[in-house]
Amino acid sequence: MAIDSIKGSLREKGVRLTRQREIPLEPIDQTGEHLDAERLFQLAKQEDPKLNRVTVYRTLKMLKNSGMGDELDLMHHEGGQHYYETRLKQEHAHVICLR
C-alpha cells in the first residue's frame, strides 16, 4: 500500500495527520526494512531533529489501531524489540532460522 494511500485511509478514518505524525510514516513505508521503534525514531529525527520519541510511539500505535500497519514480534529476534511495517500490496512471510 503506497504511503499516499495510507495517509488517505487514515484521514478517511478521522485521523488528523499533522506533519509530526507524517514524518515517521515515510521511512516505515519506504525503507523496505522491518524497523523497530528506535530505528524508526532515528530515521525520522533526521527529517526533523525536534521530533519527540513519544510522537513516534503514538504514530505506531495509531497505524496499528487503524489497521494500516502491523507490529511484528519475530520471536524476540535480536532482543525484545517489535518491528513495524505498513500493510503492503503483496503478502509475505516472516521466517527466522533458529539453528
Helix, coil or strand: residue 27: helix
Helix, coil or strand: residue 77: coil
- In CATH terms, 3-86 corresponds, of 1.10.357.10, 3.30.70.20, 1.10.10.10, 3.20.20.240, to 1.10.10.10
pTM here is 0.75
pLDDT digits (tens, 9 = 90+) for 61-99: 988 888 888 777 766 556 667 777 776 555 666 676 777
Helix, coil or strand: residue 69: strand
Q: What is the pLDDT of residue 92?
A: 65
Q: What is the pLDDT of residue 79?
A: 61
Q: What is the pLDDT of residue 35?
A: 82
Q: Where are the domains of the chain?
A: 3-86
Distance of CA 86 to the CA centre of its chain: 6
pLDDT digits (tens, 9 = 90+) for 22-58: 898 888 777 777 788 899 999 999 999 999 999 999 9
Cβ neighbors of 58 (< 8 A, separation 6 or more) are 21
Q: Which phi and psi (to 5°) does residue 40 adopt?
A: -60, -40
